[in-house]
């Protein structure tokens, strides 16, 4: 349904949002999200260029959300890295079809539209506040390097 890159971007955004406004470094995000660090760096730079995260250099640096988690939708994140593909012309290149999609491609496009609408209605904050047995991306807190904690060692 969505690309692996979009999945990684969503995981990263949730991990950053979980850290209550403190900057989070790439290795910490990679550990909690299980995203390869090299690839995660590229995803984070794409999110930065899209204005979804900000990066801070130096001591205490890392990534923070560029706006409150309540204002960031899943669709914004997905569109920043790998937009959902819509079908606006015949994918087979049949000239007589043009923009008049056949029933198959029309239904596929309608499904993509429903996914877009759903993602546009869900914020990162909602994912973090949704009641349930499991918090997003969380394992029992352990010191960095031994598990999933995003908190810095002091």
Q: Which domains does the chain have, with CATH numbers?
A: 4-81+123-129 (1.10.10.10)
User: What angle do helix axes 74-81 and 37-49 make, rounded to 10 degrees?
Assistant: 110
- The reported pLDDT for the residue numbered 24 is 94
Q: Is the pTM of this model over 0.95?
A: no
**142: pLDDT strictly greater than 60:** no
- Percent of the chain at pLDDT > 70 equals 86
- The reported pLDDT for the residue numbered 154 is 36
Question: What are 65's strand-pairing partners?
Answer: 53
The answer to which of 4-13, 51-60, 103-112, 125-134 has the lowest mean pLDDT is 125-134
Encoded tokens for 5: 């890159």
Residue 133 pLDDT grade (very low, low, confident, very high; cuts 50, 70, 90):
low
SS3 120: helix
- The reported pLDDT for the residue numbered 140 is 39
Chain center to CA of 144: 22
**150: pLDDT strictly greater than 50:** no
What value does the mean pLDDT of the chain take? Answer: 86
- The reported pLDDT for the residue numbered 91 is 86
Distance CA(105)–CA(50), nearest Å, equals 30
């Amino acid at each position: 349904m969505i690309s692996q890159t979009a999945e990684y971007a969503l995981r990263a955004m949730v991990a950053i949002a979980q850290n209550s406004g403190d900057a989070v470094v790439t290795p910490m995000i990679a550990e909690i999200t299980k995203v390869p660090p090299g690839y995660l760096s590229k995803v984070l730079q794409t999110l930065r260029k899209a204005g979804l995260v900000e990066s801070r250099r130096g001591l205490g640096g890392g990534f923070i959300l560029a706006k409150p988690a309540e204002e960031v939708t899943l669709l914004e994140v997905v569109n920043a890295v790998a937009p959902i593909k819509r079908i606006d012309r015949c994918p087979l290149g049949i000239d007589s079809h043009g923009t008049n999609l056949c029933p198959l491609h029309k239904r596929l496009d309608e499904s993509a539209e429903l996914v877009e609408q759903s993602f546009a209605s869900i914020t990162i904050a909602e994912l973090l506040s949704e009641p349930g047995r499991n918090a997003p991306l969380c394992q029992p807190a352990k010191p960095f390097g031994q598990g999933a904690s995003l908190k810095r060692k002091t």
